[in-house]
A = this chain, B = another copy of it.
């Protein structure tokens, strides 16, 4: 049996049982524990499993892996600050929309304690950050699953969204410019964001400084109506000026 094949099998076994020990795996495959350890080390590095003392544990939660990477990223602090400020705009009793994304996930995390509250989201990342409070109603817009963004898009999502209006709508973005609006990887995403903005009474676009003025993709949308740009203290005056000159309120979270 080849090594890659054995590693796949290890992942399968670990996920099936939740746990697996080095000793047991070595016996099953008829190799030394050293070999198993090497395999586990490889799998651990590629985030498919987590090592434990004497074995492995399955960490298949889809958001877990990304969450870990996210927290290690340098802009996590900025996103958290933005999320905290945004959560502060929410008052008990309201109905709130959270777009998919790691920044809106930070909003969700800081929503803890604001109760009662109805939170609607299209992303698993923010969804799982929502507290299991008694007064918290958690609603997921279903739809077609996009693995890369851990979110739902498509006609089903849009149809579900069509049944709501929101006191606050918090949108994420891959990039934002004053001239072209919000940038995303695909038109299905920009269309969804447009609908989201339409459904929100007060609309906030959350984007840390690195996203201001960037153009990583080619799908753009101008948000309808008024909205507020929330970014972090790292944003420069030059970055903010074009927004303010167009009458867009800008906020620096800190």
Q: How many residues on A have C-beta within 8 angstroms of the other chain's C-beta atoms?
A: 38
A160 close to chain B: CB less than 8 A? yes
> Are A160's CB and B147's CB within 8 A?
no
* B163 A156 Cβ-Cβ under 8 A: yes
The reply to whether A50 and B57 form a contact with Cβ atoms under 8 Å apart is yes
Shortest distance between the CB of A116 and any CB in chain B (Å): 14
Can you tell how many copies of this chain the complex includes?
2
| CB pair A144 B152 closer than 8 Å | no
| Nearest CB of chain B from residue A43's CB, rounded to whole Å | 13
Question: Of B52, B71, B142, B160, which one neighbours A52 at CB under 8 angstroms?
Answer: B52
Partner among B52, B60, B142 whose Cβ is within 8 Å of the Cβ of A50: B52
Give residues 56-78 of A contacting B (CB, 8 Å).
Answer: 57-64, 67-68, 71
Closest 8 CB pairs of A and B: A61-B61, A142-B142, A18-B68, A138-B145, A140-B142, A141-B142, A53-B53, A50-B57
B156 touches A139 (CB 8 A): yes
A194 in contact (CB, < 8 A): no
Given contacts A50-B57, A52-B50, A64-B61, contact A139 B147 (CB under 8 A): no
Question: Does A213 touch B at the CB level, under 8 Å?
Answer: no
Query: Does A19 touch B at the CB level, under 8 Å?
Result: yes
Cβ-defined contact, B50 with A128, below 8 A: no
- Is A139 in contact with B128, judged by CB distance below 8 angstroms? no
**A168 adjacent to chain B (CB < 8 Å):** no
Q: Identify which of A19, A58, A138, A142 gathers the most chain B CB atoms within 10 Å of its CB.
A: A142
Q: In angstroms, how far is the closest chain B Cβ from the Cβ of A58?
A: 8
